[in-house]
Amino acid sequence: MSIWEECLECGALGKIDREQYLGDVSVVCSLCGNHYFKEKPSDWEVALRFEGKCCSCGGTLEDSFLNMVNLDKYVNWKFPAWGNILARNEDKKEAKRAVAILCDDCIRLKQAGKRSPPIRFALEVDKEGEDYVLRYHDIKVLVDADPITEEDLEY
């Protein structure tokens, strides 16, 4: 298993292995030579990467970026949830909307305009004792939220 890491200086992508991902590591970019320190990921991120699944195709997230997609569906859980801090309307400002996590393959299909699996689930991450529990909610049963449009924002 390997995970993509982005150089903080030039943006080049390089792969790190599981041990490097799970610990504090020193990274040297093979493209620009930038040397930087990568901190250990959060426990919920580790749970998501190794136990989670794509909210579209159901595939693994181990070798993928954790691509978070905002959904216009209301949540009844705390994390993850999103809102837009620039919205005038308080309902659209508060973090009350669902998030889906997609694998790189599903993102590539969507970007290419090709047929891709529809987003089927929204993700809830909850902590029970020392462990993180991932719950997948069928988006068909979640309440629709009005989209946040550019007209809703104040700059």
Q: Domain range holding 60?
A: 42-152
Residues 84 and 46 placed together within one structural domain of the fold? yes
123 burial (CB, 10 Å; 0-12 / 13-18 / 19+) is buried
What is this structure's pTM? 0.79
* Span 20-44, pLDDT tens digits: 888 877 878 888 988 888 788 889 9
pLDDT of residue 147: 94
Residues 31 and 5 placed together within one structural domain of the fold? yes
> Residue 100 and residue 86: Cα distance in Å, rounded?
22
Residues 53 and 28 placed together within one structural domain of the fold? no
Nearby residues of 141 by Cβ (< 8 Å), 6 or more positions away: none
Q: Are β-strands 121-128 and 131-138 bridged in parallel, bridged antiparallel, or unpaired?
A: antiparallel
* Span 94-136, pLDDT tens digits: 999 999 999 999 999 999 999 989 999 999 999 999 999 999 9
